[in-house]
Amino acid sequence: MLKQTLGSRRGDGVLRGAGWAVTTLWALGGAWGCGPAEGPLQEPEEPVLALSRAVEHGNGLNLNGLNLNGLNLNGLEAQGLSLEGFATKGFSDWFQGAPTQRAEVMKYVVACAVPAGQARAFTNTATGTTYRWEGLLGLAPGWSDGEEATLEELQVVSACMAAHANKFGIHVTISVRGRDGGGNVLPVSLQESTVYGVQEACFFGNLFDGQTGVFSGNDGLSLGSGESSPRVCGLPGVPSGSQCQPMVYVGSCAAHCTLDASGGFYTSCTYGGTTYTRPLSTRMKVADIAHCGNGTCEAPEVCGLPSQCASDCGC
């Protein structure tokens, strides 16, 4: 474990957000604020935090955020994730169409695209409310710097958002594997490889072109009759199909995706005649798989959720 300062500059030797994660495991919807900012908006000081060379963090994006219309950012892809981009009338009109939902969407867009130590802000001129969204993973370095987003950046941010979608809204930590928009491999620490030992799912697609959407596949996660998982987007529905619509479930990742020579991540996935070059795959902790009959009320067993294990919670 290293102790470093989270950096935001490029090419100056300071660590960038992509491939680095806070080992306190900030959960989306917890530490990553999407609500109105209080007081004057200021750039945050670069915090000194214990880091691991990994990309591990919480998930919990509402599936409504994956609707195709939800990511029609009206020109932000061309303007860049910058003050100039947020100041356009197109983005303002889009945001004001559904402020609550689109504030959540932007929380995940910024968290996936922008490096840790940076934030993006937008003031809704209709209400005077200022929103602040924190960066974390830095998967789209050019777009974050105000450049027009590349196709690779839009694909990896789309995959990142799909990986964070959670049908039940239960926050569990995951490990993300793959490459950022610039082609850099997301580094994985030995500790992360050990702790996150369950191969779960793969995610790919494009939420920004208004027609493609996102896809998920199973990367090896198999549950017994007495087990359940808080994350089901990489598992088939009953009797088939996606459990996380509008995400499309494609079956086995291995049937559609090409492994890197190292075997640690996928370099591309092909579905419907289109090849996506920035897929992401996810890993879970063994401890996050719930087991029926152990008398412990685990996350996937919450009363009211589909589960074979609800009796552990007295349901």
Percent of the chain with pLDDT over 90: 36
Domain boundaries along the sequence of the chain: 2-287
Q: Is the pLDDT of residue 170 over 90?
A: no
Question: How many other CB atoms are there within 10 angstroms of residue 40's CB atom?
Answer: 6
pLDDT digits (tens, 9 = 90+) for 193-205: 888 988 999 999 9
Looking at the DSSP bridge assignments, the partners of residue 291 are 227
What pLDDT is stored for residue 228 in this prediction? 73
pLDDT digits (tens, 9 = 90+) for 4-44: 222 233 333 222 333 333 322 333 333 333 444 433 333 33
Most confident by average pLDDT, 79-93, 106-120, 294-308: 106-120
Which pTM was predicted? Answer: 0.77
For 224, phi then psi, to 5°, come to -75, 175
β-pairing, 48-52 vs 248-252, is: unpaired
What pLDDT is stored for residue 64 in this prediction? 58
What pLDDT is stored for residue 314 in this prediction? 66
